[in-house]
């Protein structure tokens, strides 16, 4: 592939791909690709994952052939690395970051969320100066961790107007061969607290996928008014919804319940409405947690969690029990909110497995879905369900013997393919 550049951080001791192998090729053939084929049982318990080596062909961004390994074929040698679905970071802010620029720690917070809004009003013009460059650097970090798709929130408010969006779109355009994204128009400074309405309406007509939001009660002083506006804007423009909800008390619960009500009234929003963080779920008693999880499941509202730990543990297993779609993301990599983002969603799956005691072969293998946006190579019975001919060639190659090991050890990502294009 012309223009393929191996950066020092991405360079592995034994790269699968090099310029010679792939220059100018629309079609890729790979041998010695490790795929999971089933579970191994002992007295009814899953004790290991079976794998085998395969020969794979990729053309026009799709997997076109999966066959028994052909060790002597003239093909790129995948060296027995485990092929998994490329990872997805489903909550990140590509538009505002210090990454790729000077290190800065988080400053002492004063005045709560409104204090942070005042800080952002000061900072955003500065951050926007080179935000396209930094977004590209962040995409390269995500690449190195096996991620080739993200859902990015982008600030839409009177300070940034549409510049944050336009700068990120430029970065995504520059990286379009190796990275995909969906965008959330995010009124970080409130829909009404600062008048973001005209900008949101303009953004909704542009190339974005979701209408965002943040803590309607704390910031706008109203739950219904803000949610009603958000829902209407999404319906009018056929977009999804993804709202940041940090409020953990009564207002948090009321917001969740009101959104469920609105989505049930407007079924076209089912399956494309999300609550990010939704910390209140971690504060409810067990009975209420189950009740809300069941309602979220019925309304097909997903939860995007960064898997917090410490004083707040999210009821992720309960959400899974009621078929709530759970996604994860890094949120911050290094910015004025938080500086601890590693860029890895596999690390989030690892953290979830640790927090919920998911340490057996079976449960570790299930935890991988958090990193892949819910795709797993094996179903719960051990039947192979991914990859299939015709699937998108979004592929990560890991130095691991199976998914369970990859999650437990946060195994190194050796190579990445996005839509059939070699990233590294």
**Minimal distance in Å, beta carbon 4 to Zn ion?**
32
Q: Is 424 helix (H, G, I), strand (E, B) or coil?
A: coil
Of 200-208, 294-302, 330-338, 373-381, which segment contacts Zn ion by CB under 5 A? 330-338
Place of tokens 């962040």: 138
Q: Are the C-beta atoms of residues 171 and 177 closer than 8 Å to each other?
A: no
C-beta closer to Zn ion: residue 16 or 185: 185
Of 158-166, 233-241, 331-339, 358-366, which segment contacts Zn ion by CB under 5 A? 331-339
Of 110-118, 293-301, 327-335, 374-382, which segment contacts Zn ion by CB under 5 A? 327-335
C-beta closer to Zn ion: residue 39 or 186: 186
Q: Per the structure block, which two tokens stand in for 13?
A: 């001791």
Q: Are the C-beta atoms of residues 151 and 93 closer than 8 Å to each other?
A: no
Least Cα distance to 387 among 376, 403, 372, 400 occurs for: 376
- Distance, CA of 107 to CA of 320 (rounded, Å): 36
C-beta closer to Zn ion: residue 247 or 394: 247
**Minimal distance in Å, beta carbon 117 to Zn ion?**
14
Q: Are the C-beta atoms of residues 227 and 258 closer than 8 Å to each other?
A: yes
Which of residues 331, 335, 394, 414 is near Zn ion by CB under 5 A?
331
**Minimal distance in Å, beta carbon 70 to Zn ion?**
46
C-beta closer to Zn ion: residue 95 or 394: 95
**Minimal distance in Å, beta carbon 393 to Zn ion?**
30
Least Cα distance to 364 among 411, 322, 396 occurs for: 411
Asked if 335 is part of the footprint of Zn ion (rule: CB under 5 A), the reply reads: no
What string of DSSP letters covers 97-119? --TTS---PPPPP-SHHHHHHHH
**Minimal distance in Å, beta carbon 276 to Zn ion?**
6
Q: Per the structure block, which two tokens stand in for 396?
A: 């990560």
C-beta closer to Zn ion: residue 89 or 331: 331
C-beta closer to Zn ion: residue 186 or 193: 186
- Distance, CA of 155 to CA of 208 (rounded, Å): 12
Residues found near Zn ion in the complex (CB under 5 A): 331
């Amino acid at each position: 592939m012309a223009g393929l550049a191996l950066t020092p951080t991405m360079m592995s001791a034994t790269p699968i791909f090099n310029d010679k192998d792939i220059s100018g090729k629309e079609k890729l053939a790979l041998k010695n690709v490790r795929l999971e084929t089933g579970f191994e049982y002992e007295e009814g318990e899953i004790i290991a994952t079976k794998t085998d080596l395969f020969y794979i062909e990729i053309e026009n961004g799709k997997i076109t052939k999966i066959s028994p390994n052909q060790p002597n074929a003239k093909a790129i040698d995948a060296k027995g690395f485990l092929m998994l679905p490329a990872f997805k970071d489903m909550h990140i802010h590509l538009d505002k970051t210090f990454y790729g620029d000077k290190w800065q720690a988080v400053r002492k917070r004063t005045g709560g969320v409104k204090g942070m809004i005042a800080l952002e009003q000061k900072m955003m013009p500065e951050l926007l100066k080179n935000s396209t460059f930094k977004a590209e650097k962040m995409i390269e970090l995500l690449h190195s961790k096996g991620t080739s798709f993200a859902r990015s929130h982008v600030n839409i408010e009177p300070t940034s107007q549409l510049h944050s969006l336009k700068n990120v779109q430029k970065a995504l355009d520059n990286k379009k061969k190796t990275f995909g994204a969906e965008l959330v128009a995010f009124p970080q400074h409130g829909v009404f607290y600062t008048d973001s309405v005209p900008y949101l309406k303009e953004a909704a007509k542009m190339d974005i996928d979701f209408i965002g939001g943040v803590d309607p009660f704390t910031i706008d002083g109203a739950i219904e008014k803000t949610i009603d506006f958000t829902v209407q804007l999404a319906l009018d423009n056929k977009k999804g919804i993804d709202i940041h909800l940090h409020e953990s008390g009564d207002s948090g619960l009321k917001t969740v319940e009101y959104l469920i009500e609105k989505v049930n009234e407007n079924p076209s929003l089912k399956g494309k409405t999300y609550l990010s963080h939704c910390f209140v779920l971690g504060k409810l008693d067990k009975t209420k947690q189950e009740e809300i999880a069941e309602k979220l499941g019925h309304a097909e509202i997903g939860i995007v969690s960064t898997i917090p730990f410490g004083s707040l543990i999210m009821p992720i297993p309960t959400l899974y029990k009621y078929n709530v779609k759970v996604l994860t993301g890094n949120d911050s990599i290094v910015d004025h909110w938080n500086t601890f983002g590693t860029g890895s969603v596999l690390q989030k799956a690892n953290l979830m497995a640790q927090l919920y005691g998911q340490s057996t072969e079976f449960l570790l293998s299930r935890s991988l879905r958090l990193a892949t946006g819910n795709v797993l190579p094996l179903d719960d019975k051990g039947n192979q369900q991914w990859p299939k001919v015709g699937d998108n060639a979004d592929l990560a190659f890991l130095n691991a013997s199976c998914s369970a090991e990859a999650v437990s050890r946060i195994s190194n990502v050796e190579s990445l393919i996005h839509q059939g294009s070699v990233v590294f």
